[in-house]
Structure 1
Amino acid sequence: MRITTRGQLAVSAMTDLALHQQLRPVALSAISARQRISLSYLEQLFSALRKAGLIESTRGPGGGYTLARPLAQISAADIVLAVETLNGDELGTERAAAREATGELWTAFHARAIEYLQSVTLHDLVMQHRARQAEAPEPAQATAAPRAVRLRPGVPNSVFALGSMALARK
């Protein structure tokens, strides 16, 4: 099994969708901005995800995408397989080629990879994200106003003043 950047970005985009859908569809442009993924690429990914029945789309003003199933019923494997396979028989062809070339090693590896991805749900990813956000330290806030700097007379306060002083001495 190959997990390409396409699969990784799809999982990230679906996690973003799960985090930001609150009773209304999420626009792809918002996901694009947050995840720094091009809008046209997201459109391709979401088309495949919609065909796989993982998301639903709503057209018109206020439209966008929502999850088609509860978070706990969508696995990382569902997402990756939806965007990595072009048609249903590609996975079977890949398995057969792996068996012929290297025997049981790659077949077992593929099975373990799928098994692991099936064990991780979108709910797990959302909870991990929220836990990381809760652990992140808050940005430092300025506690006092910056001190005013007092310059001594005759001391330049910028490079331009220093240059002017140097020219005046000539």
Structure 2
Amino acid sequence: MGSLRGGSGGEGRNEDGGKVGLPALEVALAFPQATPASLFPPAVSDYYQLDDLLTNEEKALRKKVRAISEKEIAPIMTEYWEKAEFPFHAIPKLATLGLAGSTTKGYGCPGLSLTASAVSIAEVARVDASCSTFILVHSSLAMSTIALCGSEAQKQKYLPSLAQFKTVGCWGFNRARLWK
């Protein structure tokens, strides 16, 4: 095991790039089952016949999200898994999915059904869980909080840019008052 590197971005890593006390990990070799979803064969069965429960619009959305996720997101994710980083440059690619705001209606949001929202996020998660989590926090926590609790002025100010991923939303919770 090598010594720690100093300087910006090197804290907590060995000379060989691994975390302190651990060897460097090349995901593709150490964890071959982490194959990008784009290499998976299509599902051959729908054991629970869930496909029959989807509307034609939901099936079309699922197909669109799967195609974009496999083409734009899957090819770059292994590199980011290995670096333990998030691909912020991929946010415009995620924006092309049209999922920001999911079930929120108006303000540039798609107004999806709960089923369409769940199916589309599952398709993104099929390729990469971090990207689906990013969309969920952005849409379901940040945007939904504004849509449900914000004033009309706040909705008009924030939701349109959030719906296009021009602004990235997050969500915080402070429990300090609960302990007094």
Structure number, greater radius of gyration: 1
TM over 0.5, shorter chain: no
Question: Relative contact order, CA 8 A, sep 6+: which one is greater?
Answer: 1
TM-score, normalised with respect to structure 2: 0.24
| Greater share of residues in helix | 1
TM-score, normalised with respect to structure 1: 0.25
